[in-house]
Structure formats: C-alpha cells, structure tokens
Structure 1
Amino acid sequence: MMTTVKQILEAKGSTFHAVRPTDSVFDALSLMAQFDIGCVLVTDSDKLVGIFTERDYARKVVLKGLVSRDVKVGDLMTPNPYTVGLTGTADDVMATMTAKRFRHIPVVEEGKVLGIVTIGDMVKSIVTQHEKTIKQLESYIAGDLAAE
C-alpha cells in the first residue's frame, strides 16, 4: 500500500511557518533560522500566495547585492507554488520533486494550507516503505506468512 501525504503529515505533524508578502526578507530569514527550516510559506489572509526558500535568498538577494532588511518577501518569493493534496502518494510527490527540483511542497486542500512536505520527508517515507516490504519478503521466504 502506498503511503499518502496525509499519512506523512500525521506522522511528522502539520506545523508550518508563514510570513506575509509585506514582511522583510530579513524577518523571513530570522524565522527560518529560529526553526532551522529551509523555507517559509507566504500567506495573505490565510491564503497561500507564495513560498520563500533559502535558494530564493541566495539567488535573488545575495547575488544581486540587495539588503535583506530593505527587500519585501513578496518581491522575491516564488508566487503560486506547486501544491499537493492529502491523497498524493509519496512516490508521486518524490517524482515531482525530482523532476521539478523542488525541496518543499505545501499541502493544500480546498484552499487551506494543511502543512508542508519536504524532500527529507519523502525519502524517509519511501525508505520506511521499502523496509516493510523487505521484512514481508524475508518472512515469506522463511515461510512465516503470519508475520505480516
């Protein structure tokens, strides 16, 4: 059985951190440093409008010589980010992350942000699923069908 995004959020928790488009990049970076995270969601009246990542900072602030206290998140965020729903599978999300080179994908259902999944969450989920499969196959080979 495939692991779903809903199961991943239930295991890891649905906590996410968000800033407003009018917040400074410095404030977003401070929040990211405080919680040791690689991105923040950008919301306006609880509606997801963008995502701001370490990559955005490195490429859009540092390389352009901007000052993080003077620049607003809304000016540098990735607008209208790709999202996934609760029924998405870990394999599908991992394939999307790999193909599109994403490290973070917000989880949204009916316009409401429910959390965020990361490349690390996907790897952990897939490794766990493979470990279960290996144990089932080992039990089958050993003739112990009841061990499932």
Structure 2
Amino acid sequence: MTDILEEISNYMSSPVLRIDSEASVQDAAILMEANHVGSLIVEEYGDDIGILTERDFTQKVLSKGKNPEEIKATEIMSQPIKSMDRYMPIEEANRFMQKNKIRHLAVTEEDKIVGLLSVKDLVAYYSKDFQVREDF
C-alpha cells in the first residue's frame, strides 16, 4: 500500500444523479440504466431525502413480485442517507461502509452531496497496488 492517504473525492462518482420523490421505480431503473450507475439520490423539493440502489430494486420490488411502474422511489429508498466528507481518507470510508453494511456512500462537501462512492470504487482503489507494472 502507498503511504499517502488518498481522499474519497479521488474515487467518487460525480456529478450525482438525482430523481424526484414522485418518480416511479421504473423511471429510476431507466435513468440508472441509461447512465450506467448503481444508485440515485432521491430528492423532494430540492432536498436529498434518500438513496435508491439496485439492491433496493431486487430486494423490495422484484423479489416481492411488485410492479415497478406502480411504486414510487420513496417507497423503497434507503434513509437516512449515510455520508462522509469528500476529504476523508478512503480507508475510513471503507471501514464505515463495512460497519454500516452499505454498498453506496454519499460524499459531501459543506453538507451538500457532491458525489457517490460505491464498492466498485473501493475495488478500484485497493486493486491499484496489485496491478502489474508494464515498464518492467
């Protein structure tokens, strides 16, 4: 591992995609697929009120045989949103995500969500030290 503590912001996805609280789960799935993302922030009147993930779809809609066109994003979103400041070390984010059993972490700057960190981002961070250098 490197000696330099890397910040969450170096690995987060940004900008954050948001969906209105009145949108259907079907609309959310379409937005996520079109943008190749695994989560969305749910907003209501400009405030971030929850996070919607692929896991929410599978556990709360598909596995229950519910119709995604009839369910609002707010019915299956996770809340409150778990977050950390963008300048925190990524290793701390990893521990926080493990402790809270979450796969997506909101990243904030001055209490505003500016990015998302996913398990996929953590894999990219931890695998960088194990990549074979091509200049040998």
Q: State the TM-score bracket (shorter-chain normalisation).
A: 0.7 to 0.9
Moved more, 77-86 or 103-112: 103-112
Q: Deviations over 1:20-64 (max 9, x none)?
A: 111000000001111122111112233211001111111111222
Instruction: Give the alignment of 1:3-22 within 5 angstroms.
Output: 3-9=6-12, 14-22=14-22
**Higher relative contact order by CA 8 Å / sep ≥ 6: 1 or 2?**
2
CA distance, structure 1, for counterparts of residue 60 and residue 11 of structure 2 = 31
Aligned position for 2:110: 110
Q: Deviations over 1:106-127 (max 9, x none)?
A: 1123331101111121222233
Instruction: Give the alignment of 1:121-136 within 5 angstroms.
Output: 121-128=121-128, 130=129
Letter matched to residue 50 of structure 1: G
* C-alpha RMSD of the superposition: 2.0
Q: How many residues align?
A: 129
Q: Deviations over 1:79-131 (max 9, x none)?
A: 21111111211111111222322211111233311011111212222333x36
Segments ≥4 residues shifted beyond 3 Å: none
Aligned position for 1:2: 5
TM-score (norm 1): 0.77
CA distance, structure 1, for counterparts of residue 19 and residue 26 of structure 2 = 11
Task: Kindly indicate whether the alpha-carbon contact (under 8 Å) linking 1:91 and 1:126 is maintained by their aligned counterparts in 2.
Answer: no
SS of alignment partner, residue 3 of structure 1: coil
CA distance, structure 1, for counterparts of residue 59 and residue 14 of structure 2 = 28
Q: Specify the structure having the higher radius of gyration (Cα).
A: 1
CA drift of 1:67 comes to 0.7
Aligned position for 2:94: 94
The answer to which structure has the higher helix fraction is 1
Gaps of 5+ in 2: none
